[in-house]
Chains A and B, each alone.
Chain A
Amino acid sequence: MSEHKILFVDDEANVLSALRRSLRKEPYELFFAESPEEAMTILENDRIDLVVSDHLMPSMDGLTFLKHVRDLYPDVIRIILTGAADVRLAIEAINEGEVFRFLTKPWNDLDLKVILKLVFDFLDLRRENQGLLETVRKQKTFINKMETDHPGIFEVKRTDSGAIILDLDMDEDIASM
């Protein structure tokens, strides 16, 4: 599986470079943007898995930005990392922006790494689940098709004594599939 891609958005370049340092050894591909606009360009060009955004930014607040992200890229996981520890904001972020986590500055490096790990475990599980669901769906379609082409193919015919009747004419058809 390819490296997970994280996009950090903060108008404070110092915060971005501190994050870059903290995560330099982690198995992630890191992207940084100093404004939501820049972030949108990156989202267009790369398949980002997770966006971590500040809240208070000059052009657009982080929550509004993450709502845009949700609308455009519903599969991208969203996290807020802000210095304004406002309960109301946190509730709003989780309820309306469907934000995965609400983190406050100053953050703890270890906590951040753990949360990133959790996020990607969750993401991988979700993807695996989706993949499995896809397989199940494909098999169902196949079964339906077979049933239309050869009605009764999945029915087992039995004699009165319970012995199974094999319809040998079917063999060729099945073999060709």
Chain B
Amino acid sequence: MTKCLIIDDCRLIREMAGDVLRDHGFDIHFAATGEEALQKMQKVAPDVVLLDMVLPDIPGAELLSLLAEQDNDCRIIVITAHSSLDSALNILRSGAADYLPKPFQLGDLLMCVERVVRRQQLERENQELSLLLQQRVLDLDRSRQELADWSLQLEQTVQDRTQDLHRANAKLKTTNAELEESHQKLQQAQVAMVEREKMAAVALLAAGVAHEVNNPLGFVNANISTLEQYVLVLRRWAAALLRVGDSYARLDRQQFDKFLADTVQCIKQDSLDDIIDDIGPLFEEVSNGLTRITGIVEQLKVFADDGNDARSVKAMDLNQEVALIMELVQSSLAKTLQVEFDLGEISPVLVPVKIFRQILLSILSFHAADASCTRKLVVRTSATQEQVVLDMIDPDCRMSAQSLAEIFDPLFAPKDVRNIGGLGLCAARDSARTIGGSLRMFKRSDGGVSFQLRLPSNAEASKNTRRGEIENQLPITKSARAEDKLDSDCGRRDTHSVGPETSLA
């Protein structure tokens, strides 16, 4: 509600004006003197003041400026009896909002007051709005600043993140390179391990060959040393005999008797009879030993002569090949290993011979190293429609079912292992796959354990063999790979590159 202070010393005017204004919704306050006006001004803080310029205590102009000073916002309407234009202008200049000449109509008064109030309200609204606007501008500025800050920060963050990403990427690249490198190294190590296992199988053969050669070499050597002794004796005897002959020619009886006695003595002392009797058997034994060594060397040549490429394929008589290898290996295991052959009618097999031998040697060296295997082995070959089957059966093998299940695990180690682990068999199985065959190990119904190698029998091969031996490059069969993917397959990736390099030569 608009507060209005009416200042007039005439009670009648005060009340008339007050009534009118109160009727129009104003909150009315009165003051009769200048002193009272100043107090009320302070107390009420009116919006509009109606001021009579003629008061008993303070001159109107002075009061006007005092009031205007006291409250800037308050609008003062001056009521004056001197309605000259000049004084009206002065009044307005000294801070009044309007003036009302006496005598006035109550309607004029009301109109004048309402006009002033409306203007005041407009000004106030204006001021508020402009304040609001200022505020808004400030807010906007602040927001803009914040936005700029954020944007800057965002940019920094994006930059930081990008750098982080770059670093992480570089790190990943390095890690990737390292991983690739270690992967490569692992692959190499795997190749090397598989290779070593294959070499272990070859070493078995080599040990056998060494033993087989060393034995005859031993007695041939010893016999030749003995022969040197014999020759010395014979030369001594011949010299003595020459002296006898010489003295006989010179008819020197005394000398002849002496030398003859010496010669007889020589014969007795060196047991010449024994020596002469022994020379025959000695030569026979030496030649026997040399024949044996020659035989072994011939056998080795068969191995060496198979061409340089391990994957070179030729029609192979499996029975003959097995017998050859068994005979060679026999020497190291085998004087202690009883081998029994049960070889069936089978057509030639078309596989790389070297890979086949390597598989067979792996099986044999595993069998030799494993403590649960015995010193008996039945070698059996048979044929199905599409395959040739080679069984190496240990009839009394006591290998546990668990060992059998794990036997192709690359990390499997047989009991009392000497120099070979599961890797050898694992490599052998992979080799078997690369040539289109398979290798299994299982317990037989009759109690023994069988290493079973199946190879594709090739009808073409048998035809070709009739036409004569062929030698060609077969593409390596991969179909067998799909057979059991669940199995561990060590060296699978490398079998191609590794297998062929193992050579018995």
Complex: A84 Cα to B225 Cα, angstroms: 22
Question: Is B210 within 8 A of A14, CB to CB?
Answer: no
Q: Known contacts A18-B285, A83-B210, A85-B210; decide if A109 and B222 are in contact (CB<8 Å).
A: yes
Question: Is A21 within 8 A of B226, CB to CB?
Answer: yes
Question: Is A107 within 8 A of B221, CB to CB?
Answer: yes
Q: Known contacts A14-B289, A86-B207; decide if A105 and B225 are in contact (CB<8 Å).
A: no
Question: Is B218 within 8 A of A105, CB to CB?
Answer: yes
Question: Is A83 within 8 A of B222, CB to CB?
Answer: no
B288 within 8 A of A: yes
Question: Is A22 within 8 A of B226, CB to CB?
Answer: yes
**B239-283 residues at the A interface, CB under 8 angstroms:** 274, 278, 281-282
Determine the residue in chain A with the shortest Cβ distance to B281. A17
Shortest A34–chain B CB gap in Å is 13
Question: Is A109 within 8 A of B285, CB to CB?
Answer: no
**B76-108 residues at the A interface, CB under 8 angstroms:** none
Determine the residue in chain B with the shortest Cβ distance to A25. B229
A128 within 8 A of B: no
Shortest B418–chain A CB gap in Å is 8
Indicate with 1 or 0, residue by residue over B198-213, a CB within 8 angstroms of chain A CB atoms: 0000000001001111
Question: Is A106 within 8 A of B218, CB to CB?
Answer: yes
Complex: A85 Cα to B208 Cα, angstroms: 11
- Give the residue of A14, A22, A25, A82 whose beta carbon is less than 8 angstroms from that of B216: A14
Complex: A21 Cα to B279 Cα, angstroms: 10
Residues of chain A contacted by B282 (CB below 8 angstroms) = 21
Indicate with 1 or 0, residue by residue over B298-341, a CB within 8 angstroms of chain A CB atoms: 00000000000000000000000000000000001001100000
Residues of chain B contacted by A84 (CB below 8 angstroms) = 207, 210-211, 214, 332
**A16-74 residues at the B interface, CB under 8 angstroms:** 17-19, 21-22, 24-25, 56-58, 61
Residues of chain A contacted by B220 (CB below 8 angstroms) = 18, 106
**B45-78 residues at the A interface, CB under 8 angstroms:** none
Complex: A34 Cα to B221 Cα, angstroms: 20
Residues of chain B contacted by A18 (CB below 8 angstroms) = 218-220, 222-223, 226, 285
**A84-119 residues at the B interface, CB under 8 angstroms:** 84-86, 88, 104-110
Question: Is B207 within 8 A of A109, CB to CB?
Answer: no
- Give the residue of B215, B332, B335, B418 whose beta carbon is less than 8 angstroms from that of A15: B215
B217 within 8 A of A: yes
A121 within 8 A of B: no
Shortest A53–chain B CB gap in Å is 14
Question: Is A109 within 8 A of B225, CB to CB?
Answer: yes
Residues of chain B contacted by A57 (CB below 8 angstroms) = 335-336
Interface residues of A (CB under 8 A from B): 11-12, 14-15, 17-19, 21-22, 24-25, 56-58, 61, 82-86, 88, 104-110
Question: Is A106 within 8 A of B214, CB to CB?
Answer: yes
Contacts A/B (CB < 8 Å), 19 sampled: A12-B215, A12-B219, A14-B285, A15-B215, A17-B281, A17-B285, A19-B222, A21-B223, A25-B229, A56-B211, A84-B207, A84-B210, A84-B211, A85-B210, A105-B214, A105-B217, A106-B217, A107-B221, A109-B225
Q: Known contacts A17-B281, A106-B217; decide if A83 and B211 are in contact (CB<8 Å).
A: yes
Known: A12-B219, A17-B285, A61-B336. 7 other contacts (CB 8 A): A14-B216, A18-B226, A21-B223, A21-B226, A105-B215, A106-B214, A106-B220
Shortest B197–chain A CB gap in Å is 18
Complex: A21 Cα to B218 Cα, angstroms: 13
The 9 A-B residue pairs with the shortest CB-CB distance, nearest first, are A83-B214, A105-B218, A18-B219, A18-B222, A109-B225, A106-B218, A21-B226, A106-B217, A83-B211
Residues of chain B contacted by A58 (CB below 8 angstroms) = 335-336
Residues of chain B contacted by A12 (CB below 8 angstroms) = 215, 219
Question: Is A83 within 8 A of B215, CB to CB?
Answer: yes
Question: Is A21 within 8 A of B211, CB to CB?
Answer: no
Shortest B225–chain A CB gap in Å is 4
Complex: A21 Cα to B213 Cα, angstroms: 21
Residues of chain B contacted by A106 (CB below 8 angstroms) = 214, 217-218, 220-222
Residues of chain A contacted by B225 (CB below 8 angstroms) = 22, 109-110
Residues of chain B contacted by A17 (CB below 8 angstroms) = 219, 281, 285
Complex: A19 Cα to B218 Cα, angstroms: 10
Shortest B236–chain A CB gap in Å is 14
Residues of chain A contacted by B285 (CB below 8 angstroms) = 14, 17-18
Shortest A13–chain B CB gap in Å is 9
Complex: A172 Cα to B215 Cα, angstroms: 72
Shortest B223–chain A CB gap in Å is 5
Most buried by B among A14, A17, A19, A61: A14
Complex: A24 Cα to B226 Cα, angstroms: 9
Shortest A157–chain B CB gap in Å is 68
Complex: A104 Cα to B211 Cα, angstroms: 10
